[in-house]
């Protein structure tokens, strides 16, 4: 049996072997396995040093000070801590937030929770190419707006938002700016100072690190307040209590360091492969690119393929690991809310594929993927009835 | 195909491998056609049947839809081979649901097939 070609790197990435090696060094009886908070003994201090080195590696990737980095279990927890924690802390200043309709569910669900607590949320509608213009954000701000939340790269369609412009307009008005950078960290330049980001969310498993660990970078000057979600020991300045998982954060640190060292060259290569993939699919008539043609991340290609049903298309592509434009389960076939927000009909949203490339994607993978998709589309279109006359 | 995907039973997997019965029949006085469903709703089918001596002697389908739907259309072309008007008229979607282990959220798509089969029965030639 041929190996499956993995083109679902926006969902998660394989862990880089160099990251695995660093993590192993923190697990076994000969490694740095001790509790990093147990600084009264040498093994604890060794573990603490590993944790702090990792914190510095994460911070360096995004232009932050290591003291700004809080460990979390991933982006979902970090988004929740950022939004719920900051909104609850600053609610005496105002109870209004601004975000977009195409944010990750971690952000949208946190906003819904805040609405249940009496906050108001404005959900901006992006343009047909998935971009939220800074002017839209500016127009939504009002007295009582305390937070703007905008993802850097959309996880479904790969478009890149102009976070620098939005950050500067928020900073000028004293409004907190939260950015979910789960899909962009290590792939696009991010600088929390330059981009005026107060709360930045990162996750390891999207950049060839382990699952189960993420980080929230919190502005320190002036110090930003957060109400913690969890209560326990005083780890992470009391904002995220719980024993720090040394091997996980060391893995995240290694992944960030590798991304910082190799990301630029790697992303050029991946962007070229993505373009080759797109050019390979264009000859299939009825193929539409979802999202802005140039303002996009290197590794994500979302396409709508007219004339095929999404679930059948995925079924017909067992040699590919890709994502569809719907939940695509037997109990749910809800079309993607992101694609619907861009104006795609339910049917077209369900006839969409997200192909996301990563560090281990090769030119050969792309050639095989193009051939497989072409064959599957032609077969399914051949079985479909001719379109009925209007 | 997706041999290890637990969402699809063995008959769906078998049918999706070849999609036997896919295609159309050349027009003729002995050929009936029925169209049902709506592509915008995710399921559309065209059934064609050649009738001789009151029986379906050849069936073809064209379909747009999920794997369960495509497989059910393929299965139907075998199931109704040799059947007469009465069998077409009383054919019930539940038979396909059982044979293909179709999950309940997709039962509505099988009704599209039933609509097409019953329309064929309504247009059946002869007494």
CA distance A350 to chain B (A): 9
User: CA torsion, points B31, B37, B42, B43, in degrees to nearest 10?
Assistant: -40
Model pLDDT, residue A282? 95
Neighbours of A378 (CB within 10 A): 13
Integer Cα distance of A13 and A16 in angstroms: 9
B2 vs A318, A333, A350: nearest CB: A318
Integer Cα distance of A56 and A30 in angstroms: 24
Model pLDDT, residue A348? 86
CA distance B101 to chain A (A): 11
Q: Are residues A221 and A81 in the same domain?
A: yes
Q: Which is higher by pLDDT, A290 or B41? A: A290
Q: What's the angle, vertex CA A98, arms to CA A304 and CA A95, rounded to 5?
A: 150
Integer Cα distance of A362 and A348 in angstroms: 29
Q: Are residues A184 and A291 in the same domain?
A: no
In a domain, A254, yes or no: yes
Would you state the structure tokens that stand for residue A332, as one six-digit string?
């749910």
**What average pLDDT does the segment A52-79 reach?**
98
Chain B residue closest in CA terms to A347: B40
Domain range for A285 is 5-10+263-380
Model pLDDT, residue B3? 59
Length of chain A: 390
Model pLDDT, residue B78? 97
Q: Are residues A275 and A203 in the same domain?
A: no
The CATH number assigned to the domain holding A63 equals 3.40.640.10
Residue A233 has pLDDT above 90, yes or no: no
The average confidence (pLDDT) of chain B is 94
Would you state the structure tokens that stand for residue A270, as one six-digit string?
């991946």
The model's pLDDT over A196-206, given as tens digits with 9 standing for 90+, comes to: 999 999 999 99
The CATH number assigned to the domain holding A303 equals 3.90.1150.10
ipTM of this predicted structure: 0.93
Whether chain A has a CB inside 8 Å of the CB on B63: the answer is yes
**pTM metric for this prediction:** 0.92
Q: Are residues A217 and A125 in the same domain?
A: yes
In a domain, A389, yes or no: no
The residues on A that touch B, with CB distances below 8 Å, are: 307, 309, 311-312, 315-316, 318, 329-333, 345-347, 350, 382-388
Would you state the structure tokens that stand for residue A83, as one six-digit string?
């939004």
Which of A258, A282, A304 delimits the end of a domain?
A: A258
Q: Do A206 and A212 contact (CB within 8 A), yes or no?
A: no
Q: Do A32 and A375 contact (CB within 8 A), yes or no?
A: no
Model pLDDT, residue A327? 44
| Cα A32 from chain centre | 30
Q: Are residues A299 and A353 in the same domain?
A: yes
Residue A329 has pLDDT above 50, yes or no: no
Q: Are residues A32 and A89 in the same domain?
A: yes
Q: How confident is the model at residue A389 (pLDDT cuts 50, 70, 90)?
A: low
The model's pLDDT over B20-60, given as tens digits with 9 standing for 90+, comes to: 999 999 999 999 999 999 998 899 999 999 999 999 999 99
Q: Which residues contact B29 (CB under 8 A, 6 or more apart)?
A: none
The average confidence (pLDDT) of chain A is 94
Integer Cα distance of A222 and A2 in angstroms: 55
Chain A residue closest in CA terms to B33: A385
A309 vs B64, B103, B106: nearest CB: B64
Domains parsed from chain B with CATH numbers = 10-122 (3.90.1010.10)
Model pLDDT, residue A326? 57
Model pLDDT, residue B112? 97
Taking every pair of Cα atoms in chain A, the longest distance, rounded to a whole number of angstroms, is 79
Residue A26 has pLDDT above 80, yes or no: yes
Which of A210, A225, A258 delimits the end of a domain?
A: A258
Q: Are residues A252 and A288 in the same domain?
A: no
Model pLDDT, residue A331? 41
Q: Is position A328 annotated as part of the catalytic site?
A: yes
Model pLDDT, residue A330? 35
A312 vs B7, B35, B67: nearest CB: B67
> In a mutagenesis test of the B interface, which of A2, A312, A316, A332 is the best target, namely the one with the most B β-carbons within 10 Å?
A312
How many domains, in total, are found in chain A? 2
The model's pLDDT over A97-117, given as tens digits with 9 standing for 90+, comes to: 999 999 999 999 999 999 999
Integer Cα distance of A185 and A201 in angstroms: 9
Interchain contact, A330 vs B106, CB within 8 Å: yes
Three-state SS at A262: helix
Which of A258, A291, A319 delimits the end of a domain?
A: A258
Q: In what order do the strands lie in the sheet with A352-356?
A: A287-289, A300-305, A352-356, A323-324
Q: Are residues A241 and A269 in the same domain?
A: no
Model pLDDT, residue B6? 86
Chain A residue closest in CA terms to B6: A330
What are the residues facing A8 on neighbouring strands? A356
CA distance B66 to chain A (A): 5
Q: Are residues A194 and A47 in the same domain?
A: yes
Model pLDDT, residue B1? 45
Contacts of B64 in chain A (CB under 8 A): 307, 309, 383-385
**What average pLDDT does the segment B5-18 reach?**
92
Residue B63 has pLDDT above 50, yes or no: yes
CA distance B25 to chain A (A): 13
What are the residues facing B45 on neighbouring strands? B36, B63
Q: Are residues A234 and A85 in the same domain?
A: yes
The model's pLDDT over A181-219, given as tens digits with 9 standing for 90+, comes to: 999 999 999 999 999 999 999 999 999 999 999 999 999
Interchain contact, B65 vs A309, CB within 8 Å: yes
Residue A269 has pLDDT above 70, yes or no: yes
Interchain contact, B42 vs A382, CB within 8 Å: no
In a domain, A390, yes or no: no
Interchain contact, A345 vs B40, CB within 8 Å: yes
Length of chain B: 127
Model pLDDT, residue A345? 85
Three-state SS at A14: coil
Whether chain A has a CB inside 8 Å of the CB on B19: the answer is yes
**What average pLDDT does the segment A311-323 reach?**
94
Q: Which is higher by pLDDT, B47 or A285? A: B47
Residue B117 has pLDDT above 90, yes or no: yes
**What average pLDDT does the segment A54-61 reach?**
98
Would you state the structure tokens that stand for residue A371, as one six-digit string?
């051939």
**What average pLDDT does the segment A145-160 reach?**
97
In a domain, A221, yes or no: yes
Q: Are residues A253 and A267 in the same domain?
A: no
Chain A residue closest in CA terms to B3: A318
Q: How confident is the model at residue A344 (pLDDT cuts 50, 70, 90)?
A: confident
């Amino acid at each position: 049996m041929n190996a499956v070609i993995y083109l679902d790197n926006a969902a998660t990435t394989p862990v880089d072997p160099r990251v695995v090696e660093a993590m192993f060094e923190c697990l076994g009886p000969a490694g740095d396995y001790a509790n990093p908070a147990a600084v009264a003994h040498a093994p604890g201090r060794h573990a603490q040093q590993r944790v702090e080195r990792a914190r510095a590696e994460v911070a360096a990737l995004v232009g932050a000070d290591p003291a700004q980095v809080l460990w979390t279990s991933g982006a979902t927890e970090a988004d929740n801590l950022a939004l719920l924690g900051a909104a609850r802390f600053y609610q005496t200043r105002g109870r209004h937030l601004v975000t977009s309709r195409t944010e990750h569910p971690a952000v949208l669900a946190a906003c819904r929770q805040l609405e249940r607590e009496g906050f108001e949320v404005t959900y901006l509608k992006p343009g047909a190419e998935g971009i939220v213009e800074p002017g839209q954000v500016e127009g939504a701000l009002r007295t009582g707006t305390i937070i703007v939340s905008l993802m850097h790269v959309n996880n479904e369609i790969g478009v890149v938002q102009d976070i620098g412009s939005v950050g500067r307009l928020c900073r000028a008005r004293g409004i907190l700016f939260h950015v979910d950078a789960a899909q962009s960290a290590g792939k696009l330049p991010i600088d929390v100072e330059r981009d005026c980001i107060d709360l930045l969310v990162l996750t390891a498993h999207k950049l060839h690190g382990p699952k189960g660990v993420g980080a929230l970078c919190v502005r320190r000057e002036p110090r930003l307040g957060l109400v913690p979600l969890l209560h326990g020991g005083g780890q992470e300045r009391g904002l995220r209590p719980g024993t720090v998982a040394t091997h996980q954060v060391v893995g995240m640190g290694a992944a960030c360091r590798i991304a910082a060292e190799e990301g630029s060259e790697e992303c050029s290569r991946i962007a070229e492969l993505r373009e080759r993939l797109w050019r390979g699919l264009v000859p299939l008539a009825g193929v539409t690119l979802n999202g802005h043609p140039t303002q996009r991340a290197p590794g994500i290609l979302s396409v709508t393929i007219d004339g095929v049903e999404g679930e059948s298309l995925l079924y017909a592509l067992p040699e590919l690991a890709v994502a569809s434009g719907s939940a695509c389960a037997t109990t749910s076939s809800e079309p993607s809310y992101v694609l619907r927000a861009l104006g795609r009909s339910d049917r077209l949203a369900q006839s969409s594929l997200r192909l996301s490339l990563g560090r281990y994607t090769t030119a050969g993978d792309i050639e095989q993927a193009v051939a497989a998709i072409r064959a599957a589309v032609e077969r399914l279109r051949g079985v479909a009835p001719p379109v009925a006359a209007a | 195909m997706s041999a290890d995907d637990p969402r699809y039973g063995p008959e769906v997997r078998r049918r999706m491998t070849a999609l036997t019965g896919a295609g159309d029949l050349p027009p003729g006085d002995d050929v009936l056609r029925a169209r049902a469903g709506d592509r915008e709703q995710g399921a559309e089918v065209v059934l064609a049947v050649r009738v001789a001596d009151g029986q379906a002697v050849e069936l073809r389908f064209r379909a747009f839809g999920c794997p369960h739907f495509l497989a059910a259309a393929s299965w139907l072309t075998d199931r109704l081979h040799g059947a007469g008007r009465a069998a077409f008229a009383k054919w019930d979607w539940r038979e396909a649901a059982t044979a293909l282990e179709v999950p309940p959220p997709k039962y509505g798509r099988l009704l599209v097939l039933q609509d097409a089969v019953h329309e064929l029965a309504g247009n059946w030639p002869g007494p």
